[in-house]
Structure 1
Amino acid sequence: MRGFKLLLFWGCCVMDIWEMHTGPTLKSTIKNANKCRETTMCPAYATCTSNMDSYYCTCKRGFLSSNGQRRFKGPGVECKDIDECSQSPQPCGPNSVCKILLGRYSCACLHGFSSPTANGWISGKPGNFSCTDVDECLNPRACPEHATCHNTVGAYTCLCNPGFESSSGLLSFQGLRELCEDIDECIEMCPINSTCTNTPGSYFCTCHPGFAPSNGQLNFTDQEVECRDIDECLQDPSTCGPNSVCTNVLGSYNCGCIAGFRPNSEGSQKDGNFSCQRLPFKCKEDMIPNNEQAQQCQEGTTMKPEYVSFCALINDMFDILDNVCENKRTAVSMKIESKVIDKECSEENVTLSLAAKRDKMKIGCSTIEASESRGTTGVAFVSFVGVESVLDKRFFHNPQTPLANSEVKLKMNSRVVGGIMTGEKKDGFSDPVIYTLENIQPKQKFERPICVSWRTDVEGGRWTPSGCVVLEASEVHTICSCNHLANLAIIMASGELTMEFSLYIISHMGIIISLVCLILAIATFLLCRSIQNHNTYLHLHLCVCLLLAETVFLAGIDKTDNQMGCAIIAGFLHYFFLACFFWMLVEAVMLFLMVRNLKVVNYFSSRNIKMPYLCVFGYGLPGLVVVISASVQPQGYGMYNRCWLNTEAGFIWSFLGPVCIVIMINSILLTWTLWILRQRLSSVNAEVSTLKDTRLLTFKAFAQLFILGCSWVLGLFQFGPVAGVMAYLFTIINSLQGAFIFLIHCLLNHQVREEYKRWIPGKTKPSSESQTSRISLSSMPSTSKTG
């Protein structure tokens, strides 16, 4: 307690001493500070500052005292705003605008310039203000279309591209108010006999048809180029066709016919199909004197009613012949057998037979009754001798296979015959008319007959196979079946209608190699027990179908002598080739299901998938397609030159349609399978993950799809300039399908190669070290393992 009192005493002493020394100064400072509190001590826009014994005023930033002193006090001094913008140089810098504000200033860039510190900079903000040029040409919409933008300091200009001009006529402009319009250079004429074509920004000249440019360029702009007349007759002497005269005129040419010929009315020079035909002679006047039956119709005497119809028939026939007989220098004769139908058709299923020379025609009474004849019906069969040398192979026309214009050799191999009936109906008979024609020359093995009829509505008169088919062909005779009769002439167009000899050799040798390989593959799948499972059974069915298809192809593709037999062969080929693709689809589906269940490697056994169900799919669906196709269009099986699906009316798509669908589905499934493999192989158990060759399943399936499907896809492109190349690729790949399958499923399979080594005498039994870690398209582990 005593210590505290002592401390308090000394503290009071110290306070008294300090007050004695600092008291007057402190009071003065407090007094001066009180003066700064008075607002009238300093003028407006000034700051009051106090010191130990006084105070002073200073103008704020941006202001200057009226007496020029920085510090001042007392009345009468003012703080005036400083005009920074009048200083030189101005504080905002070049390419800018300075604006005075109270106590400060702001800066803004001129149009066409910009500042990184924003365009409305005010003094006192951090950073320095500066203006840089704006490149307006960076904006793609700175100038209109067909114009080029040129940047300048603080601005830009637009110039129209060459070949264009501004809508106002100005050379340079800004913005989109102007448009660059195309200059019509064709106002400046191209040379004579040419046409000027204006294009955006340019133009070109083209010579008129019949003229050629002197510089050899199709399109040109050089005014010195001339368009010179083309002498078409000198350039191509055959431009008007045979038996014609070509006369060149300025810019064109004229076609005429030589003596003894006249222009064909069905063609014209304008359409590019001008042709000349021989001046006709009157078959009636030349033939009647040599035929007693025809003479009776010309005597004008009274005759029986039934002969009136027959003579009308004969006169109609002569009118037809007048349109087709062409060369009087050719010796032409005819043999006619006619019948006036009275009581011959009183019974059912009666067939009448007429013969002329050594040619025959059989016509049923049902066909005669369907002819809608009024009164007595007359039927005649005519065989012409010598007409085949006039209406020869040059008149052959087949839009499906234009053999007359190809390298195939054609020849007339029968007399021209005609079947005539007095009825109104001439075609579309349900019961066909059967013609037996004698071959002028014995038929060779490499030749194929074609039954053709004369059609006046095709190019003015042509032989066409439409409506007629070959029933049977021998060395001596050919039997044809036709569904029409009136105005009909049947010929035999025989020729080497088979494929080129090189393609023939390639296809047959390739198929023989494929058959051997398929037999080896089938034997491998049946005898190699180490690889036998459901997967190899699928390969086995595919190989069997392909073996049967190629066997039938090799043995029967050219057996066209018998129409019914050829149709049956075509049906079997249709079925077996379709079955190959459907079994390939089964393989793709099973592969997809197996890969989706990688944890269950032997997926077939775990899911209890029965082979009979797969057989129903692999064999049943192709059969269903064939049955439906045969029911809808039975005449689609078999052609005159090969036993395959008829290409007319799109019947070939009954095969190509399912094939394209299978190829598309397989491609999707196999691509999906590869994706699943990529996603799942890293997530399954360690043992399954080591099966790296699992991806070979999909890659080999892709290869198999390419082998079986590629050839038929190539077959779709056998036209145009690449037709020859496509034909060889189609033949090679298609004929070696069996060899490719044997290579993929057997020779490239490690386990199969090891089995082959065991079968070879003297070879030691190979180690099975790698067998458990390999997997291929034809071998799967037999035990199910889970992760």
Structure 2
Amino acid sequence: MNYDECHTVKTICGPHASCHNTAGGFFCLCHTGFAQLSGKTNFTGYGAGCQDVDECLQQPCGPHGVCINAEGTFLCSHMTPPMTSHLQTTLSPFVHCLSNLLKDQSIIDNCFTKRLQQPPADQFCSLINSTLAFARRMCEQKGEYRQKSASVTLKDVTSFGNKFVADGSGVESATVFLGAMENFATLAALASPTQELKAISSAHLDLDVRVIDVTNRRFLAHERLTLRAKNDTLDIYMKTVTEEQQTGASVVVFLSYTDLRSLQRGEFVTEGQPQSHLLTSSVVSVVIGNRRHRQLRDGVNITLSHTSQTQGSLSDWRIFCVYWNHSPSSSHWSPEGCEVIQSNGTHTTCGCQHLSSFALLIATSKVTPPANRLQHHGILPNPAPIQNVLQLRYRMV
């Protein structure tokens, strides 16, 4: 009878490796994104395990891309050409890391590189200082910008975000914060996909994260995920998260913020004209890791809870599902790409065709509301029931 070492000794291959039984023996294979230091493709050393491969050394993101290594995978972002100052040679990799996390090279040029020469007298730079400092922490792992960010956990990201919201901010600094938080949470999740966290509740911010091992999963055509943060819910197809990815890990992050007061004062623009409005939900963000674009082939459902002061009083008002549209010239709420699927006195479900930060607005003059739409351009039908209790969950799917 053959002795099955793989079944008997669960840890025989060590971390980041799979065991394969053979007649009279066994061998181990490293998971995608990991390898043996010796370069062997298979091995039999008990508990030897595999190390993370730094894919960024092969420049997979192209000449104008920024690569950040994460455990078992990597992130790419395409941005403006690097700065041309005398700091380029020594700081370029680190500066690119910061630019990737904050999504704007000009912020780094004005608020980081200039500070190395002389402190900038800039109110905007002061407002984003805490966000920039956290981005530096993500990039400064033992002085090497490509080191894994496992020391910065999702709990750290949540704590930072909660403090930022509690301290208050302006519209532009909140815009930078929203984009940065998407990258902070994504990178922290991918850097250590098997970390275990206790359930976390934050006064001003909650998030739900799913890391999907694409290598070892096969998905049904209409398999879906449901993520919950605060009293808000995201329904998304598994294939939307993984797309054509065949190996490695992918991640979807759902964040919900309360009391982002600066965005409550943000302008609402529809059909090219500013409109009077009232923000009547939390602000939520949806991000899929390792994605190079935000347009979705299949849409997502986002069910938002109405704020307490408007619950039960919206039947005579026009409700808009909107996203935060940021551009160098202006930032404002826009309904483009999102529609109301269904609504009642406490919740509204939005169908959206792209990823961003979303909220509900109501017009401040009464209009005749449209009939509720049950489906929209590939949006998930029959949204999942609303849950009123949230805890942060972090699990491998």
Structure 1-normalised TM-score? 0.24
Q: Which has the larger radius of gyration?
A: 1
RCO comparison, higher one (Cα < 8 Å, 6+)? 2
Q: Which has the higher strand share?
A: 2
Structure 2-normalised TM-score? 0.44
